[in-house]
Amino acid sequence: MTTTKEPATGAPATESATTETYLPNQVLSHTSYNVVGTRPIRHDGVDKVTGRAIYGADIRLAGMLHGKVLRSPHSHARIKSIDTSKALALPGVKAAVTAADLSEAESRTIDLGEGSGNVRWLQDNILARHKALYKGHAVAAVAATSAHIAEQALKLIEVDYEVLPAVSTVEEAMRAGAPLLHDDLTTESLGEQTDEHSNLAKHFQFVLGDPDKAFAEADVVVERVVTTATVHQGYIEPHAATAAWNADGQVTIWCSTQGAFVVREQTAKVLQIPVSRIKVVPLEIGGGFGGKIPIYLEPLAALLSRQSARPVKLVMSRAEVFQGTGPTPGSWMRVKMGATRDGRLVAGEADIRFEAGAYPGSPVGAAAECVFAAYDVPNGRIDGYDVVVNKPKSAAYRAPGATQAAFAAEQVVDELAEKLGLDPIDFRLKNSAKEGTRRVDGPVHPRIGSVEVLEAAKAHEHYRSPLEGPHRGRGVAHGYWFNVGLESSCTINVNADGTVNLVEGSTDIGGTRASVAMQAAEVLGLGAHDVRPAVVDTDSIGFTAVTGGSRTTFATGFAAIKAAEDVIRQMKERAALIWEVEPETVVYEGTTFTSPARAGDTLSFKEVAAQLGDTGGPVTGRANVDPPGHGGAFATNIVDVEIDPETGKVQVLRFTVIQDAGKAIHPSYVEGQMQGGSAQGIGWALNEEYFLNGRGEMVNASLLDYRMPTALDLPMIDTVIVEVPNPGHPFGVRGVGEVPIVPPPAAVANAVAHALGKRPDVLPISPRVVLEMTGQIE
Partner 1 sequence: MTTTPARATKAHVATRINGEETEFLCEPQQSLLECLRDVVGLTGTKEGCNDGNCGACSVLLNGRLVNSCLVLGVEAAGKDVGTSAGVATPAGLHPLQQAFLEGAALQCGICTPGFILAAKALLDKEPNPTEERVRFWLSGNLCRCTGYDKIVRAVMTAAGMQRGAAGARPGGAAQASAEATR
Partner 2 sequence: MATVWVPSLMRDLTGGADRVDVPGRTVRQVIESLEAAHPGMKDRLVEDDRLKPAIGVAVDGVMSRLGLRQPVGEASEVHFLPAVSGGAERGGDPA
Residue 502: phi and psi, rounded to 5, are: -110, 130
Choosing from 97, 208, 509, 698, the residue that interacts with partner 1 (CB under 8 A) is: 509
Residue placing its CB nearer to partner 2 in the complex, 443 or 469: 443
DSSP β-bridge partners for residue 245: 251
Does residue 548 interact with partner 2 by CB under 8 A? yes
Indicate which of partner 1, partner 2, none lies near residue 498 (CB less than 5 to 8 Å, by partner kind). none
Residue 463: phi and psi, rounded to 5, are: -70, -30
Helix (H) or strand (E) holding 679, with range, is helix 667-686
Whole-angstrom Cα distance, residue 773 to residue 778? 9
Site string for partner 1, 238-277 (x = CB under 8 A): x---------------------------------------
Residues in 486-545 at the binding interface with partner 2, rule: CB under 8 A: 486-487, 545
Choosing from 12, 191, 466, 694, the residue that interacts with partner 2 (CB under 8 A) is: 191
Residues in 415-454 at the binding interface with partner 2, rule: CB under 8 A: 441-446
Indicate which of partner 2, partner 1, none lies near residue 654 (CB less than 5 to 8 Å, by partner kind). partner 1
Listed ranges 67-75, 89-97, 242-250, 549-557: which one lies at the site for partner 1 (CB under 8 A): 89-97
Which amino acid belongs to residue 703? Answer: L
467: closest CA among 681, 743, 755?
755
Listed ranges 107-115, 331-339, 582-590, 598-606: which one lies at the site for partner 2 (CB under 8 A): 107-115
Does residue 127 interact with partner 1 by CB under 8 A? no
CB 630 within 8 A of CB 545: no
- Closest distance to partner 2 from the beta carbon of 361 (Å): 4
Residues in 698-757 at the binding interface with partner 1, rule: CB under 8 A: 702-704, 708-717
Residues in 607-666 at the binding interface with partner 1, rule: CB under 8 A: 654, 666
Which amino acid belongs to residue 370? Answer: C
Residue placing its CB nearer to partner 1 in the complex, 16 or 193: 16
Cα–Cα separations (whole angstroms), residue 12 to 83, 206, 361, 510, 596: 57, 52, 46, 32, 70
Whole-angstrom Cα distance, residue 374 to residue 361? 24
For 187, the 3-state DSSP assignment is strand
Q: How many residues bind partner 2 (CB under 8 A)?
A: 74
Does residue 89 interact with partner 1 by CB under 8 A? yes
How big is the chain, counted in residues? 778
Residues in 14-73 at the binding interface with partner 2, rule: CB under 8 A: none
Residues in 218-237 at the binding interface with partner 1, rule: CB under 8 A: 233-237
Whole-angstrom Cα distance, residue 347 to residue 213? 9
- Closest distance to partner 2 from the beta carbon of 728 (Å): 9
Whole-angstrom Cα distance, residue 274 to residue 181? 31
Does residue 470 interact with partner 1 by CB under 8 A? no
Listed ranges 82-90, 286-294, 640-648, 701-709: which one lies at the site for partner 2 (CB under 8 A): 286-294
Residue 345 burial (10 A CB sphere; 0-12, 13-18, 19+): buried
Residues in 394-413 at the binding interface with partner 2, rule: CB under 8 A: 395-401
638: closest CA among 473, 443, 402, 392?
473
Residues in 278-297 at the binding interface with partner 1, rule: CB under 8 A: 284-289
Indicate which of partner 2, partner 1, none lies near residue 48 (CB less than 5 to 8 Å, by partner kind). partner 1
Residue placing its CB nearer to partner 2 in the complex, 259 or 343: 259
161: closest CA among 37, 287, 76, 41?
76
Which amino acid belongs to residue 227? Answer: T
Which amino acid belongs to residue 58? Answer: D
Would you give the end-to-end CA distance of the chain in angstroms?
Answer: 43
Residue placing its CB nearer to partner 2 in the complex, 233 or 656: 233
CB 352 within 8 A of CB 368: yes
The phi-psi region of residue 410 (left if phi > 0; otherwise alpha if psi is between -120 and 50; otherwise beta) is alpha
Does residue 363 interact with partner 1 by CB under 8 A? no
Residue placing its CB nearer to partner 2 in the complex, 185 or 567: 185
Indicate which of partner 2, partner 1, none lies near residue 526 (CB less than 5 to 8 Å, by partner kind). none
SS3 annotation, 700-733: CCCCCCCCCCCHHHCCCEEEEEECCCCCCCCCCC
Choosing from 154, 679, 692, 720, the residue that interacts with partner 1 (CB under 8 A) is: 679
Strands (E) across 563-686 are located at: 587-589, 592-594, 603-604, 620-625, 633-643, 650-660
Residue placing its CB nearer to partner 2 in the complex, 64 or 484: 484
CB 490 within 8 A of CB 602: no
Does residue 444 interact with partner 1 by CB under 8 A? no
Choosing from 230, 252, 323, 678, the residue that interacts with partner 1 (CB under 8 A) is: 678
Does residue 116 interact with partner 2 by CB under 8 A? yes
Does residue 23 interact with partner 1 by CB under 8 A? yes
Does residue 234 interact with partner 2 by CB under 8 A? no
Whole-angstrom Cα distance, residue 560 to residue 541? 13
Listed ranges 106-114, 296-304, 450-458, 468-476: which one lies at the site for partner 2 (CB under 8 A): 106-114
Residue placing its CB nearer to partner 1 in the complex, 237 or 660: 237
Does residue 496 interact with partner 1 by CB under 8 A? no
